[in-house]
């Protein structure tokens, strides 16, 4: 906020609202409802959370946000009994009795006006609006100076605090447990559907959500299969490729590994060595102050030096956290500087039609001297016993 000389930040997208408030609303993420987190620069001004009235009961009952100034809009009927309420139920009763604004954008304007922010510099996360809503909210907030703030949020979120790193580490352990369970249960005849079911069950038991569990096998292992699981059965010599995503406490994981049924052929081992060396070179280049584009070029260079001179990639990784793809994006054109405290996924996979896919993808915390691996699974080509 100091860098942009902003008087207040307004988060509008699920990731950014969660970052400011700890709250991720179902109606926001899946139904397109508006949720706003208002965070003034002046610490004497109390932050506010604006959400649909239907979300407020769970928010208070489960303590889903640290923000105390809760404002609701719209209609949702919960009967208030004729008796004395205490604790969060009393707070809920007060919110339900308060005069309601049916329009979320008008309520946002009223809250900012109440906090003395109209006419000031407002950093507004522009990505959370649909159609003409952004133009309308800019008109409502006149004469304020509106600065688009989505990228500002992404820059702020690039550096993780200890709590965020701990949550991401916990999420990775859960995801890795799912991968281990599949590797331990896989055998000749196991189908892709069965492996996805195993992975999902392990993840769900640990209160995480499996998202697009891409587990592909055989000559189709270059396909993603992240919508419909493969019905192919494992056979001797088949590749088994994982590129699995999970969400835990609103944070994403994204881990890649490769296995082969039995011993790998010389060609399979050679191709896996290419992607491993590419990833390893990229990881070795990461440290504070290095450009993301330099890390990309090191990854591609490493893969080519390992024997695949025509190796190509569009990216070699990405930041991860409250969004699957965060800054820094490890691309050839991104010259932004990597900062200490960033959490980065690194990958240099290789896909070939009618042959298969080879992948190793790890999550690393950028430290003062380089990186610390947050993933703990072995990085070699796994062999499934036959």
Taking 90 as the threshold, does the pLDDT of residue 245 lie above it? yes
Per-residue HEC secondary structure of 49-79 comes to: EEEEHHHHHHHHHCCCCCCCEEEEECCCCCC
**Residues 107 and 225 reside in one and the same domain:** no
| pLDDT band of 249, cuts 50, 70, 90 | very high
The C-alpha atoms of residue 24 and residue 343 are separated, in whole angstroms, by 21
- What pLDDT digit, counting tens, does each position of 1-42 carry? 767 789 999 999 999 999 999 999 989 988 889 999 999 999
- Please compute the mean of the pLDDT values over residues 285-300 and round it to a whole number: 98
| pLDDT band of 326, cuts 50, 70, 90 | very high
Number of structural domains the chain divides into: 2
User: Is this structure's pTM higher than 0.85?
Assistant: yes
- Please provide the DSSP assignment of 115-166 as one string: TT-TTSEEEE-GGG--TTHHHHHHHHTTTSEEEE-HHHHHHHHHB--HHHHH
**Residues 213 and 335 reside in one and the same domain:** yes
The whole-number pLDDT of residue 43 equals: 87
In total, the chain counts a number of residues equal to 386
Instruction: Answer whether residue 1 is part of any domain.
Output: no
The whole-number pLDDT of residue 328 equals: 95
In three-state secondary structure terms, 204 is: helix
**Residues 197 and 217 reside in one and the same domain:** yes
Instruction: Answer whether residue 17 is part of any domain.
Output: yes
Taking 80 as the threshold, does the pLDDT of residue 285 lie above it? yes
- What pLDDT digit, counting tens, does each position of 114-123 carry? 999 999 999 9
Taking 80 as the threshold, does the pLDDT of residue 143 lie above it? yes
| pLDDT band of 160, cuts 50, 70, 90 | very high
**Residues 122 and 68 reside in one and the same domain:** yes
Q: Look at residues 117, 139, 158 and tell me which one is the last residue of a structural domain.
A: 158
The C-alpha atoms of residue 207 and residue 219 are separated, in whole angstroms, by 33
**Residues 68 and 184 reside in one and the same domain:** no
**Residues 145 and 206 reside in one and the same domain:** no
Taking 80 as the threshold, does the pLDDT of residue 86 lie above it? yes
Taking 80 as the threshold, does the pLDDT of residue 209 lie above it? yes
- What is the average pLDDT value for the chain, to the nearest integer? 95
Torsion of CA 363, 198, 226, 175, to 10 degrees: -10
The C-alpha atoms of residue 34 and residue 128 are separated, in whole angstroms, by 8
Taking 90 as the threshold, does the pLDDT of residue 264 lie above it? yes
- What pLDDT digit, counting tens, does each position of 344-382 carry? 999 999 999 999 999 999 999 999 999 999 999 999 999
Q: DSSP class of residue 294?
A: H
| pLDDT band of 82, cuts 50, 70, 90 | confident
- Please compute the mean of the pLDDT values over residues 43-57 and round it to a whole number: 95
**Residues 16 and 147 reside in one and the same domain:** yes
Instruction: Answer whether residue 307 is part of any domain.
Output: yes
**Residues 300 and 194 reside in one and the same domain:** yes
Q: Kindly state the percentage of the chain with pLDDT values over 70.
A: 100
- Structural domain containing residue 342: 162-384
**Residues 126 and 250 reside in one and the same domain:** no
* The pair of three-digit structure tokens given for residue 200, joined into one six-digit string: 């999902």
- Please compute the mean of the pLDDT values over residues 221-245 and round it to a whole number: 95
The whole-number pLDDT of residue 41 equals: 93
The whole-number pLDDT of residue 131 equals: 85
- Please compute the mean of the pLDDT values over residues 66-72 and round it to a whole number: 97
> Which of 280, 270, 341 is CA-nearest to residue 308?
270
- Please compute the mean of the pLDDT values over residues 309-336 and round it to a whole number: 97
**Residues 204 and 168 reside in one and the same domain:** yes
Instruction: Answer whether residue 353 is part of any domain.
Output: yes
Q: What CATH number does residue 72 fall under?
A: 3.40.350.10
Distance set, CA 378 to CA 126, 171, 374, 383 (Å): 41, 17, 12, 12
Q: Look at residues 135, 158, 181 and tell me which one is the last residue of a structural domain.
A: 158
The whole-number pLDDT of residue 169 equals: 98
| pLDDT band of 180, cuts 50, 70, 90 | very high
Taking 90 as the threshold, does the pLDDT of residue 99 lie above it? no
**Residues 150 and 203 reside in one and the same domain:** no
């Amino acid at each position: 906020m100091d860098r942009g000389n902003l008087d207040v930040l307004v988060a509008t997208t699920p990731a950014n609202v969660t970052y400011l408030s700890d709250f991720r609303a179902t109606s926001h993420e899946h139904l397109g409802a508006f949720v706003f987190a208002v965070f003034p620069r002046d610490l004497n001004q109390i932050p506010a959370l604006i959400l649909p009235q239907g979300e407020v009961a769970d928010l208070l009952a489960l303590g889903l946000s640290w923000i105390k100034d809760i404002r609701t809009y719209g209609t949702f009927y919960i009967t208030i009994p004729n008796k004395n309420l205490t604790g969060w139920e009393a707070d809920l009763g007060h919110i339900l009795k308060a005069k309601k604004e049916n329009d979320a954008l008008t309520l946002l304007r009223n809250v900012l006006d109440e906090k003395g922010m109209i006419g000031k510099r407002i950093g507004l996360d522009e990505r959370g609006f649909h159609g003409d809503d952004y133009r309308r909210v800019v008109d409502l907030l006149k004469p304020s100076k509106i600065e688009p703030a989505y990228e500002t949020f992404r820059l702020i979120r690039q550096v993780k605090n200890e709590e965020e790193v701990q949550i991401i580490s916990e999420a990775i352990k859960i995801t890795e447990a799912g991968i281990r369970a599949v590797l331990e249960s896989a055998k000749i005849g196991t189908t892709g559907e069965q492996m996805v079911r195993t992975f999902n069950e392990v993840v769900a038991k640990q209160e995480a959500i499996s998202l697009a569990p891409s587990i592909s096998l055989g000559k189709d292992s270059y396909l993603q299969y992240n919508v419909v699981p493969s019905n192919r059965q494992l056979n001797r010599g088949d590749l088994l490729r994982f590129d699995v995503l999970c969400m835990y406490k609103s944070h994403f994981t994204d881990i890649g590994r490769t296995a082969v049924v039995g011993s790998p052929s010389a060609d399979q081992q050679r191709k896996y060595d290419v992607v491993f060396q590419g990833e390893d070179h990229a990881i070795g280049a990461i440290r504070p102050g290095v450009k993301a584009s330099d890390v990309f070029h090191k990854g591609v260079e490493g893969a080519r030096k390992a024997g695949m001179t025509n190796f190509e990639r569009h990216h070699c990784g990405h930041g991860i956290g409250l969004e699957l793809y965060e800054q820094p994006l490890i691309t050839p054109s991104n010259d932004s500087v990597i900062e200490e405290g960033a959490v980065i996924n690194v990958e240099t996979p290789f896909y070939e039609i009618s042959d298969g896919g080879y992948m190793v993808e790890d999550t690393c915390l950028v430290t003062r001297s380089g990186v610390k691996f947050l993933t703990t699974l072995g990085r070699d080509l796994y062999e499934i016993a036959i």
